[in-house]
Amino acid sequence: MTIKSVNARFMMVLLPLLALCFVLISGVTYYMASESLSSSAVTVARCLGNEAALRMQISVADIQLPLKVVAAHPNAFLSADEGEIIGELVALKKTSPLIGQTLFAYPDGRTIRADGKHLDRSSRDYFQTVVRTKEPYISKPFLGETTKKMQTMVLQPIFANGELRGVLFASVHLSTLVDKVMADAIFSDEYLYITDEDGVVVGCSAHPNIADHEKLLREGALDERLGFALRTALATEEQTFSNFNAPDGTARFGAVTPFNLAGNRWAVVSSYPLARVNGQIHRLLGVVAAAFLVAILLAFLIVRFFAKSIVTPLNKVAREFRDIREEAGDDDETDEIGALEESVEHVRSLRDKSMQLERKASSDELTGLLNRFGFKRKVGEAMKDHEGHEAVLVFADLDHLKHINDKIGHAAGDEAIDAAARLLRMGFGGEAIIGRVGGDEFVIFLCMDHGNSADAVERTKSLIREYNAHSKNPYYVELSIGATSFVCTTDADISALMRKADECLYAAKQKRRETSIRY
């Protein structure tokens, strides 16, 4: 089915084109915005991880510092007075709210706690590590025997004369430490997991209900993807990123930031729910979709307005044509293109008929030359084109046409007129304007730019002589010729020029000998 309505064509072409352009622009905008949101979220997770790791290191260093100060002046711990040792331990405990308990152990493992209780720590790995390395040490997380909470030990060796004389302990409840690290509002909207190198979660900013550290310790398992990212980060000591599922089942994105605490590797997993970024992306998609619908509606209205601004004059033109054809009501007015096409065809037909009528009105039926009306119009146009140039107007008369018509017949007279017309066309050439302005009268306009009139006259006479020599007609074709020259102007009086040339012709005709007629 051919659709000719301008409205329909605009809707079928412009509307899909506008929609496609907007879809492409919206797609690129959505892609760039979503990439920017994702990149921003990754940057936030990266920065939060670095911040949390640094705070952990600073907090532990704040605990280590008083231990190092006391270890530098160990007189109280080198005496045999247990009360003095307990007093120092109590004072150390007060130096930081993060310290849960303070202890002093002799090299053999005998230990005194700040509350005066005697313990044996000779079998503990962290104690043996300090005795062996003689370096400060921070233990791996472990479950306290009495508190049943995850904790770590900050250990500082004491030397006298280069000999190990004891070890200071400060137990730190990891939940308290993690709470301090995560106390800032900057972490309030994030999940921050603090883990050791085995992946044991020792603190989580957003899950205070995760208190069953014993279970986590026993299982020793995280989400497999997070576990892989954690192992990679600890092995390479570089930040890694991963999607994973939190204990509450929410899908999250995490940045694993490894850091060292006096010989042990720890890690901070800073994460955010994927729904947060995906939600922003989905909202962005909704905004883009809404903008798309509004743009389509606006495009529809604009196309309708634009189409109407074209259809209205088209319908007016089509109605005018139908009125001219007196066929109003025959065509479907909604089919603007079809009505216009039919009207154009009708106008083309009228133009062709007009041109035929004009040619017929301007030309001589017998010779094909211009008639008086056509000649004068054509010469007027030529004078405008050659304004200021010299031209000549030649008047020619066919001699004895009446004698030929009377003695031989009008058919012979017509043949003589046609022969004269052909000879004039041949003699004066295609650039001359030739017309038959009477029964036996011809007039020729020739601009001097296109040739010399005298040469044209002589050439015509020569052609006439040759024609008569070879013609078997019972008459001669003879022409009397007169001419007048002038300069072309747009206001020239062509009729006056023709009368002038006719006068010259009459003068020439009087001097000619009498034409002999065959038979």
Rounded to whole angstroms, the Cα distance separating 299 from 351 reads: 41
Q: Which CATH architecture has domain 364-511?
A: 2-Layer Sandwich (3.30)
Note the pLDDT of residue 276: 67
Long-range contacts from 469-472, C-beta under 8 angstroms, 24+ separation? 471/419
Residues of the chain with pLDDT under 70: 1-15, 18, 26, 30-31, 33-38, 41, 80, 182-192, 199-222, 247, 263, 276-285, 303, 306-308, 310-311, 314-315, 318, 321-341, 343, 358-359, 511-519
Of 463, 362, 472, give the one whose Cα is nearest residue 421: 463
Contact predicate 56/48, CB 8 Å: no
Half-sphere exposure of 516 (CA within 13 A, CB side): 3
Strand, coil or helix: what is 403?
Answer: helix
Contact predicate 122/143, CB 8 Å: no
Q: Does 3.40.50.920 match the CATH number of domain 39-275?
A: no
Rounded to whole angstroms, the Cα distance separating 232 from 229 reads: 5
Specify the residue for token string 């905004």. Answer: 287
Long-range contacts from 379-387, C-beta under 8 angstroms, 24+ separation? 379/433, 379/445, 379/494, 380/494, 382/433, 382/445, 382/447, 382/488, 383/488, 383/489, 383/490, 383/492, 383/494, 384/490, 386/447, 386/449, 386/488, 387/488, 387/489, 387/490
Query: Does this model's pTM top 0.85?
Result: no
Handedness of CA 414, 416, 419, 424 (dihedral sign): negative
Domain extents in the chain:
39-275, 320-359, 364-511
Of 261, 323, 342, 218, give the one whose Cα is nearest residue 61: 261
Strands (DSSP E) contained in 128-180 are: 137-138, 142-143, 150-160, 163-173
CA-to-CA separations, 240 to 47, 65, 86, 215, 259, in angstroms, rounded:
13, 31, 45, 26, 13
pLDDT tens, 69-127? 888 888 877 776 888 888 888 988 888 888 888 999 999 999 998 888 999 988 888 89
Q: Do 39-275 and 364-511 agree at the fold level?
A: no
